[in-house]
Amino acid sequence: MAFTDIIEKQWMIKQLEGIGLKKPTVIQQNCIPPILEGKDCVGCAKTGSGKTLAFALPILHTLSDDPYGIFALVLTPTRELAFQIADQFHMIGKPIGLKDVVVVGGRDMVMQGKDLASMPHVVIATPGRLADHLVSCDTFTLKKIKYLVLDEADRLLEGGFDSQLETIFKKLPKKKQTLLFSATITDSMAELSQKIQLNDNVFKWEQENENTKTVENLKQSYVLTPIGSRDAYLVHILKVFTEKQPSGLVIVFTKTCKSAQLLGMTLNQLGFSAEALHSDRLQKERMTALSSFRSSQVKILVATDVASRGLDIPEVQLVINYNVPSVTKDYIHRVGRTARAGKGGQAITLVTPTDVNLVKAIEEMTNTEMTECEDIRDNEVADIHAQVSVTKREQDIELGKMDYDERRNIHKRKKLIANGLDPDEVEREKKKAWKRKRREMAKNVKKSKIRQ
């Protein structure tokens, strides 16, 4: 099947051919026609399957018939993903003079307000910042949008953005097309319909004949490490990998912002080329880190799950889970950063004895058994253990001199207060969310034991 079989606009066909796209992916083949017919759509497919264009193309196709602003609203959980989606809209919509605006935190609200008041065709936003604009000013309206898109819909609907989404949804028209896309959609259709009021004739599509949640050309393995030796094993893995593939790109996923920052600093001190990407960094620093990694100026990106959702970096050869994700679907999103667009890739998870049940839950969900990593030489890990430990302690002291923890807490409290929120109440809600995650983790472990 070619794009000409599902798209009528010749300017769009020409633009797609100009960037080297001649055939639609499976999710594009299935979802674009019903969207063009005016149906709501829920699309679920593996990472790297072309989900962004599955909603961007029909939006631009319809927009070109009757262009007005604001025509479409795209909501996404992370700033980096918002900019990436905007790039794809801009790339395809250039021939029709598309005006798009990215509305995310970390940027000047006054300038964003002016951009929104200029009535762009497409607004790509994170829920928090868009809700701030809707509460604080009345220079724009969302009452005439035709499309509402929730990208990484499961992340947006799982609870963390409820208050912001409620603010946004109140400002939207009842008559609109709603499009939900994600690599993992775990809510039932009834729950989804209740939350976002999907039409009765909603079109739902999921990849068929897929026994696993991860792609076949992804090699998944683990390294069993003592609790106090995880850093040394990580450095050893990176050393072996960079010797084999000097130009290869690696993403190391960590649980917390501080861990990502500290590991990034430690790896740089040990001679690796690394950048940290997490929500405690300024937006300019985050974009610089991502740009440096995409352009291969740095080979290692140490990141929190802010980098696990939707980011398209086609040349990543290796993903390392420094921590085993406590929620199994987070593993799927993390390892989805490699082995994209038919290319091979590898994912290595560092596993301590206390993580074994989590790994079993992941294997149950992905229907794929991890193999033990073959390239580990324990004697070499022992040789570098002391050096790695000392270097990390030195960098931890440097973080302390920078008042990292205190500045982070002050910044977060100021930001919450500026947004009209009670920092203490937010902290209580975070603790509740963490308890929910732990319950889900325990539930997955229990299911795994029962199956055994």
DSSP string, 138-154: -S---TT-SEEEEETHH
Of residues 60 and 305, which shows the higher confidence score?
60
Cα separation, 241 vs 348, whole angstroms: 11
What is the structure's pLDDT at 450?
A: 57
pLDDT surpasses 60 at 44? yes
pLDDT in tens, 346-370: 999 999 999 989 999 999 888 889 9
What is the structure's pLDDT at 188?
A: 47
User: Both 229 and 368 in a single domain?
Assistant: yes
Place of tokens 């603010």: 167
42 domain residue, yes or no? yes
Q: Which residues contact 405 (CB under 8 A, 6 or more apart)?
A: 258, 399
pLDDT in tens, 263-319: 999 999 999 999 999 988 888 899 899 999 999 999 999 999 888 876 777 689 999
User: Both 67 and 187 in a single domain?
Assistant: yes
Q: Which residues contact 443 (CB under 8 A, 6 or more apart)?
A: none
User: Both 61 and 26 in a single domain?
Assistant: yes
Of residues 421 and 62, which shows the higher confidence score?
62
What is the structure's pLDDT at 445?
A: 60
Longest dimension (CA), the chain: 67
195 domain residue, yes or no? yes
Domain end, chosen from 145, 174, 206, is at 206
132 domain residue, yes or no? yes
What CATH number is associated with residue 350? 3.40.50.300
What is the structure's pLDDT at 211?
A: 45
**Mean pLDDT of the region 159-187:** 86
User: Both 383 and 421 in a single domain?
Assistant: no
What is the structure's pLDDT at 189?
A: 47
Cα separation, 76 vs 69, whole angstroms: 20
Do the beta carbons of residue 273 and residue 300 sit within 8 Å? yes
pLDDT surpasses 90 at 410? no
Cα separation, 448 vs 452, whole angstroms: 6
What is the structure's pLDDT at 393?
A: 95
211 domain residue, yes or no? no
138 domain residue, yes or no? yes
What share of the chain has pLDDT > 90, as a percent? Answer: 61
Domain end, chosen from 206, 232, 254, is at 206
pLDDT in tens, 197-243: 777 788 999 876 444 566 678 899 999 999 889 999 999 999 999 99
Cα separation, 203 vs 254, whole angstroms: 36
pLDDT in tens, 385-399: 999 999 999 999 988
**Mean pLDDT of the region 402-426:** 70
Number of structural domains in the chain: 3
User: Both 402 and 424 in a single domain?
Assistant: no
21 alpha carbon, distance to own chain's centre: 23
Confidence of residue 415 (pLDDT cuts 50, 70, 90): low
pLDDT surpasses 90 at 340? no
pLDDT surpasses 90 at 49? no
Nearest to 49 by CA among 85, 25, 30, 29: 25
- Paired with 378 in beta bridges are none
Do the beta carbons of residue 154 and residue 184 sit within 8 Å? yes
Cα separation, 184 vs 27, whole angstroms: 14
Cα separation, 366 vs 172, whole angstroms: 37
- Quote the crossing angle between the two packed helices 378-401 and 230-244, to the nearest 10°: 110
User: Both 401 and 419 in a single domain?
Assistant: no
Cα separation, 364 vs 284, whole angstroms: 39
pLDDT surpasses 80 at 338? yes
User: Both 184 and 281 in a single domain?
Assistant: no
What is the structure's pLDDT at 288?
A: 92
User: Both 21 and 167 in a single domain?
Assistant: yes
Mean pLDDT of the chain: 87
Residue 323 three-state SS:
coil
**Mean pLDDT of the region 65-92:** 94
The residue segments making up the domain with residue 29 are 3-206
User: Both 273 and 335 in a single domain?
Assistant: yes
213 domain residue, yes or no? no
71 domain residue, yes or no? yes
Confidence of residue 341 (pLDDT cuts 50, 70, 90): low
Eight-state DSSP code of residue 367: T
pLDDT surpasses 60 at 38? yes
**Mean pLDDT of the region 36-50:** 87
212 domain residue, yes or no? no
Eight-state DSSP code of residue 6: T
Residue 407 three-state SS:
helix
Domain end, chosen from 164, 185, 206, is at 206
DSSP string, 11-73: HHHHHHHHTT--S--HHHHHHHHHHHTT--EEEE--TTS-HHHHHHHHHHHHHTTS--SS-EE
pLDDT surpasses 80 at 184? no
User: Both 243 and 376 in a single domain?
Assistant: yes
pLDDT in tens, 104-133: 988 888 999 999 999 999 999 999 999 999
What is the structure's pLDDT at 198?
A: 77
Q: How many residues does the chain have?
A: 452
User: Both 189 and 231 in a single domain?
Assistant: no
User: Both 402 and 439 in a single domain?
Assistant: no
